[in-house]
A and B are shown apart, each in its own frame.
Chain A
Amino acid sequence: MRGRLLIVLIAAAALLSGIQLYAHHSFAATYFEDKQQTVEGDLVQFMFRNPHSFIHVEAKDEKGEVVRWAIEWGGGGQLGRQGVTRETLKAGDHVIIVGNPGRNPEDHRLRMIRLKRTNGEPFTWGTRPGETFD
């Protein structure tokens, strides 16, 4: 309940302040927002950019074949204000990502909800208030 209240308060503050929002495409039209999927694998590319950043991760599917996943993240400006830079992640990072699956299964695409790096310097995103994107 407290968590929900916090989210409502953050949303209200964003609406009433001059915070820049970046909505580009419709997330509801692009992803199943009521579903979550976890992908664990090695990061092969981090594109820190506008309108949205993308992380590509190679992970094995249920048949054992390597699949390249595209995980959509916030725009460069928005992530920058959350402390994320283009140097935050690099190829070779082993990551566990939870996201909303895309509506096109063949695209192997997620909308980022949470990320955790399990090798090298610890890094997480999506677990603290404000770590969201639009």
Chain B
Amino acid sequence: MFAVLLLVCVFAAGAPAFAQVDFTGEWAPRFYEDQPERVAGPELGDYLGLPITDAARMRADTWNAAIQTLPEWQCRPHSADYIWRGPSNLHIWKEVDPVTREITAFHAEWLRSVDNIYYLDGRPHPSPSAAHTWGGFATAKWEGNMLTVTVTHLKEGYVRRNGVPRSDLATVTEHWIRHGNWLTVVTIVNDPVYLSEPFIRSTDYELDEHQLVPPYPCDVVEEVDRPKGVVPSFLPDSNPSLHDFAAARNLPFEATRGGAETMYPEYRKKLAAMPKSDKK
């Protein structure tokens, strides 16, 4: 009996006080999902599989990629919800309470990102009027071995890099799941303005200790010579590129317009009955 108790004590002493998986380390992105979208970039007018509202569609239709040459856009980081999808390596580190030895926060940093902090100390989210930032305000809690994160206070961002917006009223839920040397992060975006249903994506990283996130100074310059005050955009129904994606992929134009129903397998039946795009 004494021996059994001794064994229990020995095992208990080596175990963390709480279920705390260590996410710290250097992580390399793996593009087994959505490589063309995440690296080279999406095409204009491709809203397939996005549960967007009419307002989001209008914003995307009138968006002009040349806007990113404006000074305030050139060095803009991806927001906390999109940055997982970026092609950059990821560095995660932690803060530990010196007395309880519990993890009180994780930090995540990518190339060209801000310091994204995920608080585990039980602090509340600030008032809705508090500053909105690229990283937002993020709290986290353990659900078994999974870390569940809630992000609020985000500046307006995008869910796809072809102008499909995400509003500053969105709330993002993240699930961090570690399987050995693999990290899977599921992001769920709820946006009362631009999404009619939650938008869910998963992204994978592999532990890679042979890397560091390098320095990334970004200079604002005059990238393109254009008259002062010009903000590239399209008026409604004047974007000439919206049919290109459908035509190039031989898809019905209506399908490329997105919306919640395009996320679901049942949409295939409707798709089969639609006319293909007639514009080349």
Contacts and interface: CB of A to CB of B under 8 A. Distances in A.
Contacts of B219: 47, 49-50
B59 to A, nearest CB: 14
Question: Does more than half of chain B's interface fall in helix, strand or loop, or is it mixed?
Answer: loop
B131 interface: no
Contacts of A121: none
B214 A15 contact: no
Nearest to A68: B225
A70 B226 CA distance: 10
A20 interface: yes
A50 B44 contact: no
B148 interface: no
Nearest to A30: B65
Interface string A72-97: 10000100000000000000000000
Contacts of A15: 30-31, 35
Interface residues of A, number: 31
A26 B66 contact: no
A21 B39 contact: yes
Given A18-B89, A102-B66, A49 B221 contact: yes
A12 to B, nearest CB: 11
Interface string A22-38: 11111111100000000
B43 A18 contact: no
Interface string A96-134: 000000111011110000000000000000000000001
Taking residues whose C-beta sits less than 8 angstroms from the other chain, chain B's interface range is 35 or more
Contact of A20 (B35, B68, B75, B88): B88
Given A51-B75, A54-B223, A26 B218 contact: no
Given A20-B88, A70-B225, A25 B65 contact: yes
A28 B40 contact: yes
Contacts of B217: 49-50
Nearest to B78: A24
B40 A23 contact: yes
B210 A27 contact: no
A77 B216 contact: yes
Contact of A54 (B64, B68, B88, B221): B221
A90 B112 CA distance: 28
A77 B221 contact: no
Interface in B185-237: 208, 210-211, 214, 216-219, 221, 223-226, 232
B88 A21 contact: yes
B42 A26 contact: yes
Interface of B: 28-31, 35, 38-44, 64-66, 68-69, 74-75, 86-89, 111-112, 161-163, 208, 210-211, 214, 216-219, 221, 223-226, 232, 241
Interface of A: 15, 18, 20-30, 47, 49-51, 54, 56, 68, 70, 72, 77, 102-104, 106-109, 134
16 contacts: A15-B35, A18-B28, A18-B211, A20-B88, A20-B111, A20-B211, A21-B87, A23-B86, A23-B87, A24-B68, A27-B40, A27-B41, A49-B221, A50-B112, A70-B69, A70-B225
Given A30-B65, A70-B69, A107-B224, 18 more contacts: A18-B89, A18-B210, A20-B211, A21-B29, A21-B87, A22-B87, A22-B111, A26-B41, A26-B65, A26-B161, A29-B43, A29-B65, A50-B216, A51-B75, A77-B214, A103-B65, A103-B241, A107-B69
